[in-house]
Amino acid sequence: MDGKLPEEYRLSERKKKILKEIIDAYITYGEPVGSKYLAENQQLACSSATIRNEMAELEDMGFLEQPHTSAGRVPSELGYRFYVNSLLEQYRMTSGEIEAINSSLKTKLAEMDQLLSEASRIAAAVTNYTGIAVKSRPKAAAVRRFECVRVDATQFVLVMMPTGGGTAITRSVRTPLPLTPEELARLLSLFNEKLTLTPPEGFTLPLIAEIERGMGRLGVVVSPIVHTVYEALSEAVQPHTAVEGVGHLLRYPEYADVDKLRSLLDVLENKEELQNLVPLDDGDTGDVNVFIGSENSVKVMEHSTLVFRSIRRGGRVVGAIGVIGPRRMDYSRVIATIDGIAGRIDAMLGSDDDTSHLLKG
């Protein structure tokens, strides 16, 4: 959204104002906008004839389109792009909207997957579009360090710090035999000695038997815990996505075509396609990204807009949240909302780098 367009797309101040008024009206009412409406309802300080001429020139330049034989115009994809880059007024979130976000995210949830799912739900609820969230794929499925928090004699929370600096993975573990704090510490020491930097496929029977011997009479507790670690690491490399508020799309006439809507829903239901739709890159500047229509990598998005912002922890992109809706979108409000939610999560993840907060909730 840097506002840089080729020289031939530079507009006079009057054209900019007319284009902005047309897009604002079209976003609000969803009907083609004519010169009569602009002359009667907006403070443009020019005649209907002048407005018609300017609208015709904007259409010739590709910023407006004339649907069917209507006298009114609607924004083109180029018109929306110019609007987002150069004409958008900053939306200030209300105290109620800010409080709703803070209240929903105030508890530091146990897993990044849960946090992203909650963020997508909030994004859908606040914007009335479809909220989405994706988590970055981990660079490796191995643990660099095991930690644990004892709950009682037969229960503890196992914390796995993955290689590659990803978000900690936690699992609640219940043992068939009670463990004293000293015995739990010995188990943790063996896991750190034998299982760190080992991918799931390296969890062989001889390796498990070695850990069992190290636990002596308590060896029976080892195998089910190793199985828990194996499942957790296997799940970690699977793409995680969350989609909320799909029903919101039905409110917009742009999705009245059942076949087009079905194609879009197929993308939203496919984890791989949704991951590909939202590019995650550590080189991301942290700004809100807006992909309008054909700017999206998936063809069925040609009548839709994707707005998203990456989420960082320790300087690394760990996921992203956003919304999908029609090109006729309340861009100012959506951009401010997504920026606010992502910024809140950034602050939560960056407030401490230890794993204690992952054990709450």
In a domain, 105, yes or no: yes
> Judging by beta carbons within 10 Å of its beta carbon (0-12, 13-18, 19+), is residue 247 exposed, middle or buried?
exposed
Considering the domain architecture, whether residues 198 and 218 belong to the same structural domain is answered as yes
What CA–CA distances, in Å, run from 34 to 54, 246, 312? 12, 32, 45
Considering the domain architecture, whether residues 218 and 338 belong to the same structural domain is answered as no
Q: Of 236, 252, 284, which closes a domain?
A: 236
Considering the domain architecture, whether residues 43 and 153 belong to the same structural domain is answered as no
What CA–CA distances, in Å, run from 326 to 128, 133, 198, 203, 258? 11, 18, 46, 48, 15
In a domain, 245, yes or no: yes
Chain segment 122-161, per-residue pLDDT in tens: 999 999 999 999 988 766 578 999 999 999 999 999 999 9
Confidence of residue 358 (pLDDT cuts 50, 70, 90): very low
CATH of the domain at 161: 3.30.390
Q: Which residues form the domain of 162?
A: 143-236
Chain segment 50-69, per-residue pLDDT in tens: 999 999 999 999 999 988 76
| Short-list 57, 27, 52, CA closest to 37 | 52
For 22-31, 68-77, 80-89, which range has the lowest pLDDT when averaged over its residues?
A: 68-77
> Other CB atoms closer than 10 Å to residue 348's CB: what's the count?
18
| Number of domains the chain contains | 3
- Position 109 pLDDT exceeds 80: no
Considering the domain architecture, whether residues 232 and 243 belong to the same structural domain is answered as no
Do residues 255 and 261 touch, judged by C-beta distance below 8 A? yes
The per-residue DSSP string of 220-272 comes to GGHHHHHHHHHHHHHHHTS--EEEE-GGGGGGSGGG--HHHHHHHHHHHH-HH
Considering the domain architecture, whether residues 227 and 245 belong to the same structural domain is answered as no
Using DSSP, state whether 261 is helix, strand or coil: helix
In a domain, 2, yes or no: no
Confidence of residue 353 (pLDDT cuts 50, 70, 90): very low
Mean pLDDT of the 231-248 span: 86
Residues shown for the chain: 361
Considering the domain architecture, whether residues 247 and 325 belong to the same structural domain is answered as yes
